Structure 1
Amino acid sequence: MWQLYQFPLCPFSRKIRLLMAEKGVGYDLVREDPWAPSDMFHNLNAAGATPVVVDEEKGITLADSRAIAEYFEETVDASPMINGTAANRAEIRRLVALFDENFYNDVTAPLLLERMKKRLIYKQPPDSRALREAMKNAHGHLDYMDWLIDNRPWLAGSTMSLADLAAAAQISVADYLGGIDWKGHEQTRGWYSVFKSRPSFRPLLSERMDVIKPPAHYALVDG
């Protein structure tokens, strides 16, 4: 059985949880708080970042969400998430990078800093200007997603892919932190509602941080 070292509001951990669930790969969750990683976790990943997956019986330890995703894509035939032609696979990887890097840096990371880290670690109030900027950036990313969904059944093409999982993972964290205004983004909201109804996604929506609570609509399938 795989052990998945993760933090509940780490979007990269969420991406791997979604991927493993969609592929039917069993795992046990092990929580690691990013501000206080254990010595054992540093031994698993010197970067000290989640997620990390470990199979002790096979002697396998994998770190970095994109490397982990590629591993399961190559070793588990069920529910391929990087599929299609070479051009299709390149498009999937392009969009995964867009959400893992641009969306995270523009939206998710600032929200985590202002709404989580400042409250739990630094005991400081959030910077309202930084929050407004993150939400403004979110609108720009959702506009692009609206355009993709207007032109494709799924973000990267005709079938669900790792690009959809990466996007849903980032959006779910931003939405938990109150950083998503869905007005004017009915296309993306509809796409996200489909994800919220999937069995792989329900465990994410049921989790709660001890102190930080999500908006009322967060766990509603049509919210």
Structure 2
Amino acid sequence: MYTLFHHPFCPHSRFIRLVLGEYGIDFRLVDERVWERREAFLALNPAATTPVLIAERQPAIPGAGIIAEYLDEAHGMEVDERRLLPRSIGERIEVRRLMAWFNDKFFEEASNPLVTERIYKRFMSEQEGGGSPATDVIRAAKANVRYHLAYIGWLARTRNYLAGDRLTYADLAAAAHLSAIDYLGDVPWNEDDAAKAWYARVKSRPSFRPLLSEWLAGVPASRTYVDLDF
């Protein structure tokens, strides 16, 4: 049994939860508010970021990219055609490129500022960086969502899935980040039908159900969040 230290609206944590769900791996969740900088958690990951995966007889595995690589090495061969990191070198490069695009670039420019300003700050003390949302940060992040959505749409129009013919880490990374900000209603789905259709396919997968069932007190989900036919 794995243990995953996460936050329900951390996009990177959502990505790993989708991966574990796709592989049918049992795991338990431990909520972690990284801004509290708990000593026990810092001992697992001095960077104080989620997710962190705990596997039996292994050191703590920190970070979405490292966890994804570990899960491929540990379980990829077992699932055969459902493997989320393809076998060929060329395909693996493209999956890793897109996984990094969403986990690094999209996170920095869009999902992290929106989640931080609109969710995390609600639970932070002033000393931890809490306070009123920064409207200029939100405005810039929402503008960035639009060009990322256009890129997803272009990929979806030219391929069956984002990185090629079948579902990979690239799709789950993109969908995880979008899901966190879709909860807030910050994805302009009416601007790209191809991106919307691709997301609807991924959101309809069983691995997505636990994410869609999570709600934040005082912050209602957007109309499109749980609607599979949005």
TM-score (norm 1): 0.94
Aligned to 1:194: 201
Aligned to 1:96: 99
Amino acid at match of 2:28: D
Unaligned runs of 5+ in 2: none
Structure 1 residue 177: deviation in Å? 2.2
Aligned partner of residue 141 in structure 2, secondary structure: helix
1:125 to 117, 128, 132: 132
Deviations 1:84-130 (A, max 9, x none): 42111101100011001111111111102221233332463323332
Total equivalences in the alignment = 222
Deviations 1:57-88 (A, max 9, x none): x2442111111110110111212111042111
TM-score (norm 2): 0.91
Aligned to 2:150: 143
**Alpha-carbon distance in 2 for matches of 1:153, 1:130:** 34
Unaligned runs of 5+ in 1: none
1:159 to 157, 166, 169: 166
Aligned partner of residue 143 in structure 2, secondary structure: helix
Query: Does structure 2 conserve the Cα–Cα contact (< 8 Å) formed by 1:134 and 1:179?
Result: no
Identity over aligned pairs, percent: 38
Aligned to 1:170: 177
**Alpha-carbon distance in 2 for matches of 1:179, 1:54:** 32
Aligned to 1:208: 215
Aligned to 1:7: 7
Query: Does structure 1 conserve the Cα–Cα contact (< 8 Å) formed by 2:182 and 2:224?
Result: no
CA-based RMSD of the aligned residues comes to: 1.5
